[in-house]
Amino acid sequence: MTRRAHVQLFDDWAERYDQSVCSDDGFPHDGYDQVLEKIVHLAAAEPCWRVLDLGVGTGNLAERFVALGCTVWGVDFSSKMLEKARAKLPQARFVQVDLLGDWPGELDRQFDCIVSSYALHHFDLPTKLDLLQRLVRHYLAADGRIIVGDIAYPTVQIRERERQRGDWDEDEYYWAADETLVACRETGLCQVRASF
């Protein structure tokens, strides 16, 4: 799928996004609220923290950090998703940006916590790792943390077995904890932990 088609897909989905992810109709959004809660729990954010939400969508995860008193920035490539997020969270700051492209100067700051939910599975593992390294080098405070909640499998073998069963989007790159942990250690992202 082209980048333009991908953006259009999410623009078209924005109006019904919240209903579809909260429906618990099965894969891929089973347990959506629990994933967001787990991210918030692992972040252990404190009031006044600066939090960056990657692939913010309509602001469902960002909303939880705003409620904790954090200063929240959200980035997304979909203008329609960002419209929904702005309406939901006028106190947060939102920027339309491609995660893999150049970021505007207004994001040139350090964040206490960088979070993401259901966004990074759109990139293959090397691209994910490049993005994480870029975040650590340029955007994460020295004692900050990155928390990602996404579609993942414990092992490559289990992921492959599920792919063989069908109902699989070939344009998506679901995480496998075993390969991700090894790759993160090899690239210096050695504090990575997997939680299911």
Task: Show me where the domains of the chain are located.
Answer: 3-186
Single-letter amino acid code for the residue at 10: F
| SS3 at position 93 | strand
CA distance 80 to 170: 24
- Which residues have a Cβ under 8 Å from the Cβ of 140 and sit 6 or more positions away? 110, 111, 114, 146
Query: Which pLDDT does position 13 carry in this prediction?
Result: 67
Please state which architecture CATH assigns to domain 3-186: 3-Layer(aba) Sandwich (3.40)
**Does pTM surpass 0.85?**
yes
Q: 187: alpha, beta or left, given left = phi > 0 and alpha = psi -120 to 50?
A: alpha
Query: Which pLDDT does position 14 carry in this prediction?
Result: 75
Query: Which pLDDT does position 98 carry in this prediction?
Result: 95
Contact assessment for residue 50 and residue 109, using Cβ atoms and an 8 Å cutoff: yes
Query: Which pLDDT does position 191 carry in this prediction?
Result: 66
Query: Which pLDDT does position 3 carry in this prediction?
Result: 72
> Nearest Cα to 8, choosing from 79, 101, 76, 71?
79
- Residue 75: in which H helix or E strand, if any? strand 71-76
172, two tokens: 């998506």
What tens-digit pLDDT sequence spans the chain (196 residues)?
A: 777 776 777 767 678 877 777 766 666 667 889 999 999 999 999 999 999 999 999 999 999 999 999 999 999 999 999 999 999 999 999 999 999 999 999 999 999 999 999 999 999 999 999 999 999 999 999 999 999 999 899 999 999 998 898 767 788 899 999 999 999 989 888 665 656 5
